[in-house]
Amino acid sequence: MEKINIGKNVFIYPMPVTLLGTTVDGKANFMALGWVTRINANPPLLALGVNKVHQSSKSIEENRTFSINFPNADMIVETDYCGLFSRKDIDKSDIFEVFYGELETAPMIKSCPLNLECKLLHKYPLPTNNLFIGEIVAAYTEERYLTDGKLDMSKMNPLLLTMPDNNYWNVGEPVGKAWSDGKKFKRKE
Amino acid sequence: MEKINIGKNVFIYPMPVTLLGTTVDGKANFMALGWVTRINANPPLLALGVNKVHQSSKSIEENRTFSINFPNADMIVETDYCGLFSRKDIDKSDIFEVFYGELETAPMIKSCPLNLECKLLHKYPLPTNNLFIGEIVAAYTEERYLTDGKLDMSKMNPLLLTMPDNNYWNVGEPVGKAWSDGKKFKRKE
């Protein structure tokens, strides 16, 4: 079939669904964030793109800390609520039960199967968003999400996002092994 | 249940599975890449973290172009092969049928349901990886992956990756609508 050019504003398939935790006026605040990735192996660094108009953008700069929380599929309504409404209009500090690690201004969500506690290293302003580079200082989970001591995505049951159709998806089944299945590749003779 | 601290080297759940396309010595080359995200809305910018030792890192700097290709789940063996072996040891130019858009050094994979053609804007060297910021100049798909004119992930059937368990996963089912389901949220009285 023929390739068609669908323009420039295309997204990653799929995006992870996370809640970005910050502190605003001394209270926990959360926004939905799909634009996040690891970018460095050692130390473990993350990149996030956060629209400059968001309160969370200002709070990360102010406190130089943030958290990345992975909701499970049962938390879809609360998660989407955090994406729908701005801290400027709504106090989101009482939606989730919150806990803290070593950083005093990186609130983390107790009901999320995984929490990354982060400190800000750099900010690069882009045209519409801020690119934040943060270092993971600790990560938190519960025993029930582990298999053989490793996080097990089938137990975590995280959400995925696609845009511009704006669908949330759950994850499927394991279908192969990385750094292994490629050994079966046979070149065409 | 109690939260446990599982250290710092924790990954995003899940990571997308992409093939990063570059040109090396005039030939197409591909490496498996899970560390990629959108970071700016307008213009559409991507961030990628690529280990400095990879040939792809050098090629992006040299040509100032690259592509991000999304393989489908049927391409797991070829995709993993590109992650297992280095261009230093193996010529990967004949694994896939390749096409080009407007940039002469951003090879794209015909069998992938989605291709992003990108030009490099900035490089920020990090301790082990290079952070590349690129702009999407065009995106390519086929009619059969669209529903109502939008990319349909269930038709694309992309792969997901988790580390350090090193599993590939497929995507599940749509389970909700973003910027909509949150309207059902009721605060505790």
Phi/psi of residue A91, nearest 5 degrees: -80, 120
Contacts of A15 in chain B (CB under 8 A): 16, 37-38
* Tens-place pLDDT, residues A91-143: 999 999 999 999 999 999 999 999 999 999 999 999 999 999 999 999 999 99
Chain A interface test: which of B3, B69, B150, B163 (most A C-beta within 10 Å)? B3
Residue A92 CB contacts under 8 Å (≥ 6 apart), including other chains: A28, A29, A30, A81, A82, A85
Residues pairing with B93 in the sheet:
none
Residue range A14-52, pLDDT digits in tens: 999 999 999 999 999 999 999 999 999 999 999 999 999
Which of the four pLDDT bands, split at 50, 70 and 90, describes residue A161?
very high
| pLDDT surpassing 90 at residue B143 | yes
| CA dist., res. A189 & res. B79, Å (int) | 19
Asked if the Cβ–Cβ distance from A13 to B70 is below 8 Å, we say yes
Nearest-angstrom CA–CA distance, B172 and A38? 23
Mean pLDDT of all residues in B108-115: 98
| Contact across the interface for B152 and A129, Cβ inside 8 Å | no
Cα three-residue angle B139-B32-A13, rounded to 5 degrees: 45
Q: Considering only CB atoms, which chain A residues are within 8 Å of B81?
A: 182-183, 185
- How many Å lie between the alpha carbon of A184 and the closest alpha carbon of chain B? 7
Shortest alpha-carbon distance between residue B26 and chain A (Å): 21
- Minimal C-alpha gap between B55 and chain A (Å): 17
3-state SS track over chain A: CCEEECCCCCCCCCEECEEEEEEECCEEEEEEECCEEEEECCCCEEEEEEECCCHHHHHHHHHCEEEEEECEHHHHHHHHHHHHCCCCCCCCCCCCCEECCCCCCCCEECCCCEEEEEEEEEEEECCCEEEEEEEEEEEEEEHHHEECCEECHHHHCEEEEECCCCEEEEEEEEEEECCCHHHHCCCCC
Confidence band (pLDDT; 50, 70, 90) for B189? low
ipTM of this complex prediction, to 2 decimal places: 0.96
pLDDT number for residue A55: 94
% of chain B surpassing 70 pLDDT: 99
What pLDDT does A7 receive? 97
Candidates A80, A141, A177: best to mutate against B (most CBs of B within 10 A) is: A80
> Which residues of chain B lie closer than 8 angstroms to A183, CB-CB?
81, 84
Phi, then psi, of B98 in degrees rounded to 5: -115, 150
Task: Please determine, for residue A187, whether its predicted confidence score (pLDDT) is greater than 90.
Answer: no
The percent of residues above 70 in pLDDT, for chain A, comes to 99
Spatial separation of the C-alpha atoms in residues B164 and B56, rounded to whole Å: 23
What pLDDT band is residue B186 in, cutting at 50, 70 and 90?
confident
- Interchain contact, A47 vs B36, CB within 8 Å: no
> Three-state DSSP class for B56?
helix
Q: Which of A6, A11, A13, A140 to mutate to test the interface with B (most CBs of B within 10 A)?
A: A13
The stretch A143-153 carries a mean pLDDT of: 97
| Range in A12-21, A82-91, A175-184, B134-143 with the lowest mean pLDDT | A82-91
**In the prediction, which pLDDT does A88 show?**
83
What is the distance in angstroms between the Cα of B121 and the nearest Cα belonging to chain A? 11
Distance between CA atoms of residues B71 and B50, nearest Å: 19
- pLDDT at residue B49 greater than cutoff 70: yes
Asked whether residue A188 carries a pLDDT value surpassing 70, the answer given is no
The predicted model scores a pTM of 0.97
Q: Which amino acid is at A143?
A: E
Q: Which of A128, A151, A179 sits opposite B41 (nearest CB)?
A: A128
